[in-house]
Amino acid sequence: MNLEFKRLSEVNKTSIIELMNNPLVRRQMPLLTNQFNESICDQFIKAKEKLWVEYGYGPWAFIVNSNFAGWGGLQPEKGEADLAIVLHPNYWGIGKVIYDKIMKKAFGEMGLKSVTVLFPPSRTRINGLIRLGFKMDDELEIGNTRFIRFRIENHMTLT
């Protein structure tokens, strides 16, 4: 498998729109309430690119064997580096490979002390997060929606 991280602005918008309108994907994203059309996609890409300018990091597009598989990575959220991985259902089996690559960047080259993940309370399958080392940290509200924040600490020893 060939996995590349590219900027969202480098991906065909049609692929992003298709992903964000997929019912199985939408079920996991409570803040995604409207139909994800071209205008919303343009705003989405612009907002994600702005994160790169302002913070020096942001989400990527995941390209697997030259195909758009999804998007995600690290983005600032309430002063924290928050991890999100949004994959097309055809690629749900490769999340761990993507996670490992992101976390290597986060705790290696970026030197982050911790990374958070936000889950809506409706997402009850958290055993995978716990196995990775995430611990329940806090509850917060974003866009009038409650989320549970999980955190993993950087235990890498820098040599």
pTM metric for this prediction:
0.91
Amino acid at residue number 115: V
At 155, is the secondary structure helix, strand, or coil?
coil
Q: Coil, strand or helix: which one is 136?
A: strand
* Angle in degrees, 0-180, between the axes of helices 38-55 and 13-20, rounded to the nearest 10: 100
List pLDDT tens digits, range 2-51.
Answer: 999 999 999 999 999 999 999 999 988 888 888 999 999 999 999 999 99
Q: How far apart (Å, rounded) are the C-alpha atoms in residues 28 and 10?
A: 25
Topology of domain 3-112, CATH: Aminopeptidase (3.40.630)
103-154 per-position pLDDT tens digit: 999 999 999 999 999 998 888 888 989 999 999 999 999 888 899 999 999 9
Contact of 74 with 58, CB cutoff 8 Å: yes
Cα separation, 43 vs 27, in Å, equals 21
